Copies of this chain bind each other. A is one copy, B any other.
């Protein structure tokens, strides 16, 4: 019989909301396949990571750049061995002191009580723009992008 991953997924997101990285990491498999979709050349915590140590380094990179002040799991779906979470983050950008908010979704797969696969989508334009602290410049080179 398949394991019921709902309590495990809930515990993982509770740990994440509590910013209890140690507890969150205890629910991540040593050989996890982790992908946060986004521009890896802008934020090094984007991109593909293999293994728990690499994921921990990603968490540390986020912590160096952002002080997360609120982590709200707006939705959490469980289906078989997979979970999908819609998350809203509020953070202070350490470089500028500004408050930012961003939404992200995380699709995870569990095996024997641990996350073995993670696929995340982040609203990265908002993230980058808010981290930079000004609108990104598009209008001059790409006027067709600005639509009424």
Min CB gap A99→B, angstroms: 17
Q: Which of B41, B65, B104 touches A121 (beta carbons < 8 Å)?
A: B104
Give the segment of A14-22, A48-56, A76-84 that binds chain B. A76-84
Known contacts A105-B121, A107-B84; is-contact A39 B147 (Cβ 8 Å): no
Contact with B along A121-148 (1 / 0, CB 8 A): 1111111110111111110011011111
Q: Given the complex, which residues of B lie within 8 Å of A136, measured CB to CB? A: 128, 136-138
CB–CB A128/B131 < 8 A: no
A77–B6 CA distance with the chains assembled, in angstroms? 13
- In the bound complex, CA of A42 to CA of B78 (Å): 34
A105 CA / B71 CA spacing, docked (Å): 19
Closest to A144 in B: B95
Say if the beta carbon of A75 comes within 8 Å of chain B: yes
Chain A interface (Cβ < 8 Å from any Cβ of B): 37-39, 41-44, 61, 65, 74-75, 77-79, 82-84, 86, 95, 103-105, 107, 119, 121-129, 131-138, 141-142, 144-148
